[in-house]
Amino acid sequence: MAPADPLRNLGVHLSGRGGEIRVWSASAASIELCIFDGKDPNWVTKTIPLNKDAHDVWSATTRSLMPGTYYALRADGPTDPMNAFEPKRHLLDPYARGLARTSTGEWRGYVQDGSFDWGGVEKPRVSLDHTVIYEAHVKGLTRLNTAVPEELRGTYAGLAHESTIGYLKDLGITAIELLPVHQSVSEQRLQKMGLTNYWGYNTLNFFTPHAQYASRAAQFGGTGAVLREFKGMVRLLHEAGIEVILDVVYNHTSEEGRGGPTSSFRGLDDAHYYRHMPDGAYFDTTGCGNAIDYSTPAAQRLVLDSLRYWANEVQIDGFRFDLAATLGRDENAVFTPEHPLISAIAADPHLEGVKLIAEPWDVGMGGWQVGNFPAPWSEWNDGYRDRMRNFWLRDIAAARETGLPSEGIGSLARRLAGSNHVFSLERGPLASVNFITAHDGFTAWDLVAYDDKHNAGNGENNRDGSNDNKSFNHGHEGHSEDPVILATRRKAVRNLLGTLLLSAGIPMLTSGDEFGRSQRGNNNAYCHDDALTWLSWDHDPWQDELVAVTRTLTRLRRENPALRPVRYGRFGETTPSASQMDWYNKQGLSMSPEDWDSPAERTLQFLAASTPEFEEFNRILLVVHGLETSVTVTLPEHAGVVGYTLLWDSSVDDLDGVDTVHAPGSELEVGPTSMRLFLAH
């Protein structure tokens, strides 16, 4: 018989004998459970001492723990610099699945009612090569959408409304990646400034949905109502074939630095939950005041249990791990791909089929780890982001200033083909999550409209946010009525979207980029919970045209498997679900070193043929031209290709009146800074 798991069933679990609570702390000298009055969570009606076992798990069983019971913990222990015990402070159970706030602003856990009828709806289980991710904020996505009933705007139910789901389906989205929905609070600094942490990267608890994103009816609907609304959102998205990915922040907590608010981990076992310097000061690799120490088995188990809960009981399809390098740091704070937590998440049978996406860096020493996570992890590819921005924006700005762009087209081609210089052959192109923008930084429209950040509204005198945006305003900073500038900006956005959705790898589109959303040059709008960050659904005609372009691109990606290989090809071999890639210059000849590297030669033709495993054979030709002058392109002659049919051209909004059928060897005039996609047949 296998030995009992010493860290089993942490938190509250109900049985016929009542509820058992189990809490881990290696440093505490005593822990007691506080039960509160059912109507007044400030009034303690009972205290129960917890007993410690040989594995540092403290537990008690009581019939007072039942669905809806408010409870907290109090802990006492050493007073050395590594600990922060306050025996009279009420602390949250790290595993609490329900949270409530008292009239005095304190937090209480409550025993959750997790019952829910899934109605037989199962996870969509979309394969990675068919995945198109849409990064969005629960509130910001629907707060201004008049197609959603007013009482549901900006809520989980609003996201699940038929108009929202219909829009996502029509756009070609297969997965919505939600900015943090674990219960979060605003930092003390922001509260003093009258601002809020809108993005939510300041987690209070890893097991509860953020109550403020629920409808008012759910917030005041009693035990389990918020969780039921959240699960209802997941069920309706799944019915539509859309997966739900959560952006999870396990690298730090809302307890901030040493002077921050003590709410849970610090008061239970500061010495073991957080990283410290020898003098007791925090060793912070996150830039947020603290870093959880994942060299300890209890912290590792906390993450695994949280993931299992969301993946199974809430039916979440995937997770994007914020500052994931912190999760892979050992007892010496050194990142290792073989870290027990990184490996355990990947191998956990309870997480089988769950999508795992790392933000593969943090702010500590040796924190940039792009390409170093093991399979089956995928990673945000910042090199892809930077190169595509440079090619379409900064290089063009340089050409206007000096007469030549900064670089040739070779580095773009590597990223376009799946970044095989970054990710191992075994992991393949789907290890790369490609993105041009994300929640932090400029929107796509602001990339083409601003050279500099404009963050004065953040209250930090424009010091915050990146100074290296790789953007280009195309001749005027900010809003412009100049028709030439506007036309050039719109084409630049089409090029960015086209590159993103036609590249090998997993594309992630930031919500609003499909219609040119602007934050007026603010590249760090984390503290704006207002119309600056909420999506506007009142669009000008050019914005609707951009949505149509995005819809076309996702459809073309879906219909052409040559654009979304699963594996890297090997020279001289036929690899199933890879793409055979051939590269030609503007004359239709094989690329020379000068064609790859010369800033004066920024035109290539990318012929990709699928190697079928599950889908029909497919071959496409993508023409990329990165100069602000037109060029004559000779379509390549290639064995088995008898013609090319134009599917998309970034230089126009649609193909009405455009010749679309061309023979190999024919010459085409390709407009300045543009892309064309052909079906090769």
The Cβ of residue 611 has, within 10 Å, a number of other Cβ atoms equal to 19
What pLDDT, on a 0 to 100 scale, did the predictor assign at position 574? 84
Write down the pLDDT at residue 525: 97
Amino acid of residue 379: E
Whole-Å CA distances, 445 to 434, 524, 631:
18, 15, 26
Strand 243-248 to 175-178 pairing: parallel
Q: What pLDDT score was predicted for residue 1? A: 58
Catalytic residue chosen out of the listed positions 322, 362, 379, 395: 322
The whole-number pLDDT of residue 240 equals: 98
pLDDT of residue 295: 98
Domains and CATH numbers, the chain: 1-112+252-282 (2.60.40.10), 562-680 (2.60.40.1180)
The secondary structure of residue 592, as a DSSP letter, is P
Query: What pLDDT shows up at residue 657?
Result: 84
Tokens of 83: 């600990």
Active site residue 464: no
pLDDT at 655: 85
For the stretch 64-92, pLDDT in tens is: 999 999 999 999 999 999 999 999 999 99
Query: Would you state the structure tokens that stand for residue 468, as one six-digit string?
Result: 């290296």
What is the residue-wise DSSP string for 211-234?
A: GGGS-HHHHTS-TTHHHHHHHHHH
What was the pLDDT predicted at 381?
98
273 vs 292: CA distance, rounded Å: 6
| Alpha carbon 205 to chain centroid, angstroms | 19
**What is residue 338's predicted lDDT score, i.e. its pLDDT?**
97
For residue 472, give every residue at least 6 positions away whose Cβ sits within 8 Å of its Cβ, in sequence order, or none: 393, 394, 396, 397, 447, 448, 451, 492
Q: Is 386 a catalytic residue?
A: no
Amino acid (1-letter code) at residue 457: G
Give the pTM: 0.98
Contacts of 221 (CB under 8 A, 6+ apart): none
Strand partners, 649: 676
Catalytic residue among 269, 317, 359, 446: 359
- Counting as low any pLDDT under 70, the low residues of the chain are 1-2
- Say how far apart CA 661 and CA 566 lie, in whole Å: 29
Residues in CB range of 182: below 8 A, 6 or more apart: 200, 203, 204, 205, 206, 207, 208, 209, 210, 246, 248, 249
Closest CA to 530 of 246, 180, 154: 154
Position 299: which residue type? A
